[in-house]
Every structure is written in structure tokens, then in C-alpha cells.
Amino acid sequence: MYALDSVAMKILKFSTLIIGISFISGISWALIAPDSSPETTPIAPNITTTTISLPAPIDNALAQHAAKSPMTPQQPSLNARHYTVTRGENLSSIFSKLNYSSKDLHHIIHANPIGSQFAAISPGKTLTFKSTSDGTLVELHYPKKPTQTIVAKRINEAFHVEAINAVVNREISYIHTSIQTSLFIDAKKAGLSDKLIMELAQIFAWDIDFALNLRKGDQFSLLFEKLHINGVAIGSGNILTAEFINKGQKYQAVRYEDNNGAASYYQPNGKSLKKAFLRTPIDFARVSSHFNLKRKHPVLNRIRAHKGVDYAARTGTRIKSTGRGKIIHRGRKGGYGRTIIVQHGQKYTTLYAHLSKYQRNQKVGSRVNQGDTIGYVGKSGLATGPHLHYEFRINGVHRNPLTVKLPSSNPINKSNMADFKSQTTPLLAQLHHVKNSSFAENTF
């Protein structure tokens, strides 16, 4: 255990630096054993979880808030009554059931925009009514989400309503595993939530084709946050850093949040992991015809260059704009049928043909983001069956969409580089450290 403890302490020091918690109490370290966590089913000894820090829970937060609040001082003896909302009930029926005044209800709901959230209480939530000995309602608490409680407090005849956010405790956890079956199955076995598996796949989506190119023995390790309020797990937070080894090639990602609060994933050198374009405009589609300048056309039955890629997909499958840009054509275009062309900056255009229909609320001139739906697969124009014909042009010249070198999204701004390094270096060091330590331990 000595080695483990010293490792744990180093991790804790790193983590304290990273998450900047001003105090830490109840520090604990857990090497997850097979039966110690319902959400983790270790299949190999290469799964480790670290656990750090415990700031103030929601009740403390509420108490502190109340202490600072300039509202009516707390009356000394309030009766608290808890009521769990059942299906079909609303606040009005509950007020009359519990004999509270409908005038108070009106004041609460119309106090301000937050007050109207009381009109949409959901079944299963437990309301807390605090009243004086003569039955006058003084406070009403509605735990809307694990992270937020809506509180109404009486001020004379009226009520003041506000949303109080809980202090969320973020633990940093570590997972390392190797692919035996699929990303989803193996990551799930390692204890990663569905949400984080999707995020992990998204982070590396520009570099790794998770559907087609994973190999048995590929590995990944990551540091991510587990969220708790008052010691109760409420789900996972962000992936902080991740490493994926695919077919012997290592990919690294680290999360960086700029001072405007915008977060994205970068390579350790500050280059974006995102490309300016997605490789393919539809999910899970088969390439039915490649880019080929000497192809015999299936309908015209003569040699005619195929200057794009065809994806066989069902009619109605959504088509995404592969990059951010502006729609410059939307309409019929000869053999292409219903066609959209998107202009991306000065150099690039992408074209999507044979659509069955267009996305609603867009027109020529509309701005679209990468991944936005622009239309749906069909077989309009010269097509033997439903498919998407996709073209990629640089300065007007057709390029093979499957092999063209895609430009990266913007790297870290020069002025943010120092901040980027200071945020991300400890994370990368921590991942590296925990990974090496857990390998060393596993050799016993």
C-alpha cells in the first residue's frame, strides 16, 4: 500500500492545483475493487479511479446564502412540511390540498420569471413548505434539478423568488482500458457513462473512425470529472484530458477553457483537434462510388468523371454541412437534382446532390455551422437509387473528399498560449503519471 499512498498523494497535489479548490476535506483514495462500485465492472486490473476533494454541500450553500441574504430575517420557529409531487398534480392543487392560500400561490408564480418555474413542477420532486404556527406560508423550496433549488420567501404580502445553485463537487477520476470488443462496450465496462463515451468519440472524431478503424488492443486513458452534491453522485462532468492509441498511433487531447468560458479540445501543442471540415456529411453510410475521373456513368453509360463520393443511405437520412459556411445555392441543378452548395471562406465549397428535401428555415444566404443539418438523402436528378453525391472543391478544383488534407480549425490564440500551457500541462502530467503508476502496480 505504501506505493499506492504516495502515488495518491502526488495525484492529490496535482489535482488541488488543477481544480483550484481552496480547501480540501475528507480526502480519500480508492482503487476500485470489483464489488465496490455498482457502476464499475473491472474486467482487468488496468482500471483505476482516483477520488479527490469535498467542498460545501447544497444545504451549507443555502445556509450561507440565507445568512448573507438581505431578505426577511428567519422566523425562529417554522414548521417544515415535505410533499412529494405525484403525477397529474400541479402547485395549485397541492396548495388547496394542504390549505395554503391561493393568493400566496399567485404572488409566488408572478413574483418574477423564476417564479413561473413553480408552475411546471414535476412528479417525484419533493417540495418543502415552511410556515409559522398559525399556518402562514413563509418559504417554499422546489429542488428543480440536483444542482438547483428554486426558493420563494415571504416579504410582507409578497414573495421573493430565486434560483439557488448548489456547490458541485468535482472529483477527478482516471480510466485506462484497452479495446477488446468495441469502444462502447469496453468503455462501458471500464465505468464510463454513455455521455462520456459519446464525448470521447467526438473529441477524436476527426482523427479516428470509431466505426471502421478500431483494432483489438487499441488503448485509451483519460481523466474526467465525477460530479457530487452532498456526497451524492449526480453524473459525470467533463473529460479533462484523453489519450487514444489507435493502430499504434497516439492521439492526445486536452480540454481548455478560455476566459470567455468557451471550452474546446486541443493537442498538447495548442493545435485544434477539430478540422475545419467533417470527413463525411452523413453518419454510418457506406461509400457506394468513389472519386474517379474515368468512371463509366451508371445512368448515362459512358465515361464521365465522377468528381465526388457517393454515399448509399436511406431516403430521408439527414445530411450535415461538413463545415461552417454560407449556403450559396439551394435548388434543382440538372442531373444533380435538388442540390445545396455551401461556401466556406474564400477557398472552399462543398456540394450535396440528389436530395429528397431541404432543411426547413434555411435559404440561399443562410449561415450554417459544421454539423448542421441542411437536407435529406433522396434520388432527385440522375440517380439509380437514394444516395448522397458529395463534392469538395478547393479554389474551384474538385478534390477527393475522402483523401484531401483537411485544414485544421483555429489553434490556440497566441495571447492565450501561456494560459493554455498553465491549465493543460498539469493535466497532461497527471495523466502520464497515473498511467505509468498504474502500469507499475499491475506488474505485481
142 or 291, CB closer to Zn ion?
A: 291
Handedness of CA 140, 141, 142, 144 (dihedral sign): positive
Residues 163, 62 contacting (CB under 8 angstroms): no
115 or 378, CB closer to Zn ion?
A: 378
**How far apart are the C-alpha atoms of 285 and 310, rounded to whole Å?**
10
What Rg value do the Cα atoms of the chain yield, rounded?
28
Contact residues for Zn ion, defined by CB under 5 A = 310, 389
Q: What angle do CA 121, 125, 131 make, to 5 degrees?
A: 85
**How far apart are the C-alpha atoms of 47 and 224, rounded to whole Å?**
13
Nearest of 188, 88, 91 to residue 141 by alpha carbon = 91
Q: For the CB of residue 20, give the shortest distance to Zn ion in the complex, in Å.
A: 53
Q: For the CB of residue 355, give the shortest distance to Zn ion in the complex, in Å.
A: 13
246 or 349, CB closer to Zn ion?
A: 349
Q: For the CB of residue 352, give the shortest distance to Zn ion in the complex, in Å.
A: 11
Q: For the CB of residue 302, give the shortest distance to Zn ion in the complex, in Å.
A: 15
Q: For the CB of residue 307, give the shortest distance to Zn ion in the complex, in Å.
A: 8
Q: For the CB of residue 120, give the shortest distance to Zn ion in the complex, in Å.
A: 49
100 or 376, CB closer to Zn ion?
A: 376
> CB nearest Zn ion: which residue?
389
66 or 312, CB closer to Zn ion?
A: 312
Which residues are bridge partners to 137 per DSSP?
Answer: 131
Which residues are bridge partners to 387 per DSSP?
Answer: 312, 378
**How far apart are the C-alpha atoms of 12 and 22, rounded to whole Å?**
13
Q: For the CB of residue 287, give the shortest distance to Zn ion in the complex, in Å.
A: 10
338 or 389, CB closer to Zn ion?
A: 389
First to last CA, the chain: 12
304 or 326, CB closer to Zn ion?
A: 304
For every residue of 160-227, which 3-state class applies, written as one string? EEEEEECCCEEEEEEEEEECCCCHHHHHHHCCCCHHHHHHHHHHCCCCCCCCCCCCCCCEEEEEEEEE
Q: For the CB of residue 377, give the shortest distance to Zn ion in the complex, in Å.
A: 12
255 or 389, CB closer to Zn ion?
A: 389
| DSSP reduced 3-state for 51 | coil
Retrieve residue 255's grid coordinates.
480540454
**How far apart are the C-alpha atoms of 251 and 154, rounded to whole Å?**
56
379 or 432, CB closer to Zn ion?
A: 379
Nearest of 391, 379, 368 to residue 305 by alpha carbon = 391
Backbone angles phi, psi at 365, to 5 degrees: 100, -15
Number of neighbours of residue 374 by Cβ within 10 angstroms: 22
Q: For the CB of residue 299, give the shortest distance to Zn ion in the complex, in Å.
A: 10
User: 169: which residues sit within 8 A by CB, 6+ positions away?
Assistant: 53, 54, 55, 57, 227, 228, 229
Q: For the CB of residue 310, give the shortest distance to Zn ion in the complex, in Å.
A: 4
153 or 389, CB closer to Zn ion?
A: 389
